[in-house]
């Protein structure tokens, strides 16, 4: 999408489609009011006669509105003016973008954020407009051979703002949003791809392809022999039951001096999780192709970082394998030795994500990072606790916690701070090894984080459990692209933007 920004009156801007907000009770936004005057009260009459209610998220397309400088007029409901908040405005943006994507307009200008600086600020207005367009226009058609949905004709999308300075800031935000959504699209494409196609080797090739497309990126891929040489016994134990070779993928973004400590992002890359010997029930097992969403979101974040040319160093570490049952698979009761030298008793082979992550976290130390953030579809317990709305956040550093919470709130990709306490770590005691990979059933998300914390001593570290937010089920089944917006906002702030 080609984004642009305009300042001044909506009555003077020629466009294929003007998108304006309307409140309930017939109240109009400034942009709607300006066009209403040109149209001899067309919009206000529609509201007066009950043809458009202004209910939040509702839309109405008016083709060829008389005397207006737009070929089409899209009305979008903003709800009660006195109760307008960021959530309602975001909903209106998303519904407005969906509606305009179904028209034949080649260009459009959205005035939905016009005059809303107190709610969003112009920069975030631009970013959220780009995000709304992505959600409206994203399609995954890689495996389809039959008829495809009609192509979206909209190629240019403008953001109407009050002043020239606000328009400049909104355009900057839209450019940031465009980079973020390109990262989200890559994340979604990888996660939505069938597991027989998106193997660890496929992820590695996509990472290499990404590095070739961006000068600031470089990629290194380690195979089973190198992983064995590194003594990554925990990682190897998960990969033992599958025919697909494991891959340790490292992507580096060099945006600052080599002496500057990088931020390391670690992404869980289980490309299919059967549970191993502790086999999962068959219901919805097909969704376990999404168990590599942590890896996909980290790769997508690196794409956005490269597009934005952030002046910081960022390293992505992605352990990737399948978790499958076979005669060679790790068994409950087995004891393995992690890269750190700590021994782990395997009580449940379906608690595999923490095993590949613990070796990746140990490996990440070699980069002498300023910060480590791991991202994983780690526990069903987090889904039970927070549902599909909030990502679970646990950290050993209060300052880092606040940074990530604030980034998520700004980006509309929110997280919730969960505790990290010694009591949860104590549930991992083992009679035969240094500790086990499972604790009690209660507090499962917190126990998983406590397990990972054993491998992050002395590091400034945070863990994002995205099991509830990484994908949707049912008729909307597919990757959401989260938490790319949160991660990129965090990195933008670290970069000084």
Catalytic positions, written as ranges: 280, 354
Cα atoms found within 13 Å of the Cα of residue 126, Cβ hemisphere only: 25
352: nearest Cα among 278, 281, 416, 405:
278
Please state, in angstroms and as integers, the Cα–Cα distance from residue 153 to each residue in 16, 17, 76, 134, following that order: 11, 12, 20, 14
Q: HEC states along the chain?
A: CEEEEEECCHHHCCECCEEEEEEHHHCECHHHHHHHHHCCCHHHHHHHCCCCCCCCCCEEEEECCCCCCECEEEEEEEECHHHCCHHHHHHHHHHHHHHHHCCCCCEEEECCCCCCCCCCCHHHHHHHHHHHHHHHHCCCCCCCCCCCCCCCCCCEEEEEECCHHHHHHHHHHHHHHHHHHHHHHHHHHHHHCCCCCCCHHHHHHHHHHHHHHCCCEEEEEECHHHHHHCCCHHHHHHHCCCCCCCEEEEEEEECCCCCCCCEEEEECEEEEECCCCCCCCCCCHHHHHHHHHHHHHHHHHHHHHHHHCCCCEEEEEEEEEEECCCCCCCCCCCEEECCCCCEEECCCCCCCHHHHHHHHHHHHHHHCCCEEEEEECCCHHHHHHHCCCCEEEEECCHHHHHHHHHHHHHHCCCEEECCCCHHHHHCCCCCCCCEECCCCCCCHHHHHHHHHHCCCCCCCEEEEECCCCCEECHHHCEECCCCHHHHHHHHHHHCCC
CA–CA distance, 77 with 192 (Å, rounded to integer): 32
Residue that the structure tokens 């130390």 belong to: 365
CA–CA distance, 490 with 407 (Å, rounded to integer): 5
Token pair of 143 as six digits: 């495996």
CA–CA distance, 345 with 234 (Å, rounded to integer): 10
């Amino acid at each position: 999408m080609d984004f642009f920004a305009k300042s001044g009156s909506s009555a003077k801007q020629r466009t294929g489609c003007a998108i304006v907000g309307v409140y309930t009770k017939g109240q109009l936004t400034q942009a709607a009011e300006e066009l209403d005057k040109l149209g001899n009260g067309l919009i206000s009459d529609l509201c007066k006669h009950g043809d458009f209610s202004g209910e939040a998220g509702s839309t109405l397309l008016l083709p060829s509105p008389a005397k207006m400088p737009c070929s089409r007029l899209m009305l979008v409901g903003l709800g009660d003016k006195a109760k307008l908040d960021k959530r309602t405005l975001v909903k209106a943006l998303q519904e407005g973008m969906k509606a305009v994507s179904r028209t034949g307009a080649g260009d459009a200008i959205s005035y939905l954020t016009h005059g809303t600086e107190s709610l969003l600020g112009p920069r975030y207005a631009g970013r959220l407009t780009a995000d709304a367009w992505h959600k409206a226009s994203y399609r995954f058609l890689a495996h389809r051979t039959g008829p495809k949905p009609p192509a979206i004709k909209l190629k240019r999308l403008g953001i109407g703002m009050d002043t020239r300075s606000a328009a400049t800031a909104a355009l900057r935000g839209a450019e940031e949003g465009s980079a973020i959504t390109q990262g989200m699209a890559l994340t979604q494409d990888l996660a939505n791809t069938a597991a027989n196609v998106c193997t660890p080797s496929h992820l590695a090739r996509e990472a290499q392809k990404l590095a070739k497309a961006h000068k600031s990126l470089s990629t290194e891929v380690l195979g089973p022999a190198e992983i064995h040489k590194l003594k990554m016994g925990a990682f190897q134990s998960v990969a033992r039951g599958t025919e697909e070779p494991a891959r340790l993928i490292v992507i580096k973004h060099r945006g600052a001096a080599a002496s500057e400590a990088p931020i390391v992002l670690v992404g869980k890359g289980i490309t299919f999780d059967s549970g191993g010997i502790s086999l999962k029930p068959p219901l919805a097992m097909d969704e376990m192709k999404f168990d590599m969403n942590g890896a996909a979101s980290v790769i997508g974040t690196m794409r956005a970082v490269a597009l934005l040319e952030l002046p910081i160093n960022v390293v992505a570490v992605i352990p990737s394998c399948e978790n499958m049952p076979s005669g060679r698979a790790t068994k409950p009761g087995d004891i393995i030795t992690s890269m750190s030298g700590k021994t782990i008793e395997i009580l449940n082979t379906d608690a595999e994500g923490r095993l590949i992550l613990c070796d990746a976290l140990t490996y990440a130390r070699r980069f002498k990072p300023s910060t480590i953030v791991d991202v994983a579809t780690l526990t069903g317990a987090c889904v039970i606790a927070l549902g599909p709305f909030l990502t679970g956040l646990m950290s050993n550093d209060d300052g880092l916690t606040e940074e990530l919470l604030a980034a998520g709130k700004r980006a509309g990709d929110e997280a919730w701070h969960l505790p990290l306490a010694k009591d949860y770590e104590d549930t991992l005691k083992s009679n035969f090894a240094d500790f086990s990979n499972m604790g009690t059933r209660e507090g499962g998300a917190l126990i998983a984080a406590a397990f990972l914390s054993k491998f992050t001593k002395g590091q400034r570290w945070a863990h994002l459990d995205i099991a509830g937010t990484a994908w949707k089920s049912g008729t909307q089944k597919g990757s959401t692209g989260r938490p790319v917006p949160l991660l990129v906002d965090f990195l933008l702030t670290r970069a000084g933007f």
